[in-house]
Copies of this chain bind each other. A is one copy, B any other.
Amino acid sequence: MLDCLVNGEQTDQISIGDRGLNYGDGCFETIAVKSGAPLLWQRHMDRLFASCKMLGIGIDFDAGILAAEAEQVLEPKENAVLKIVVTRGTGGQGYRPDANTAATRIVSVHPWRLRPPEFRTDGIRLCVCETRLGRNPRLAGIKHLNRLEQVLARAEWQDEYEEGLMLDTDNQVIEGTMTNVFLQLGQEIITPSLENCGVNGVIRTEILEQLESMGITCKQATVSLDMIYNADGLFICNSLIGVWPVATIEQKKFPVTELTRKIQHGIESVIV
């Protein structure tokens, strides 16, 4: 960790009474920083404030404050990861929130992690996780702090795969542990619906908009593991990695399609 602000004060500590710790009562953003500039800033801010609203977390700061704090912790010209966590603060009694509690905001910088370039050129190895995602429309889409399912899923493998595919408890494919997933069937692109669970990724939203402007149909639908195995092509995405084609799911191989490459380049035009 390079630098950190909690509610604007330079510290890397928070109160053990914070609801983020006690209940996972908050949400977060993980933002790629290139040459000192946070990428897709507006999209991250839109999601963060939308998430707070969906969780009923009252905030007394705006994106301008967060931008100023990001500038304060980031070195000019560095590549880094900026993490912003917003929790419901320290108030309330047990689970009961207090509407007057001030939210806690944590702005911290973490080292940029270099990934092997072949992940983006040749694709990555995907496994299928045993750990399932519970379904709850009330929390679906939100990048909240209740991430035990992702932690348990990621604990299922070490370095033999780059990412793990997560199904929900009804055996529908939803996402990777840290990525969204898209599949190609013919000239159609499909990504799992996030109606019941899953994180509404910033790059997912960007891809959906780019596809629309290119006139390419992308369905948000129920996706089975069978559909995944029968896909003509497959890729995963998030804010830090951009788009990585999937080369294999366990033994099964997938080609990197032209359409995947086109979408990858579209994303790289906004994040690299």
Contact = CB atoms under 8 A, between A and B. Distances in A.
Interface of A: 1, 4, 6, 12-25, 28, 55-56, 85, 87-88, 93-97, 106, 108, 113, 131-139, 144-155, 169, 177-178, 197
A151 B23 contact: yes
A209 B13 CA distance: 43
Given A12-B16, A134-B136, A23 B97 contact: no
Contacts of A177: 95
Contacts of A17: 1, 12
A106 B16 contact: yes
A151 B88 contact: yes
A132 to B, nearest CB: 6
28 contacts: A4-B16, A13-B14, A14-B21, A18-B21, A19-B151, A20-B21, A21-B87, A22-B85, A22-B147, A23-B145, A23-B147, A23-B148, A24-B146, A25-B151, A88-B151, A93-B113, A94-B178, A95-B153, A95-B178, A96-B154, A97-B151, A132-B136, A134-B135, A135-B169, A136-B169, A137-B169, A138-B152, A146-B146
A154 B12 contact: no
Contacts of A146: 23-24, 146-148
Contacts of A154: 94-97
A154 B96 CA distance: 5
A28 B24 contact: no
Contacts of A150: 23, 95
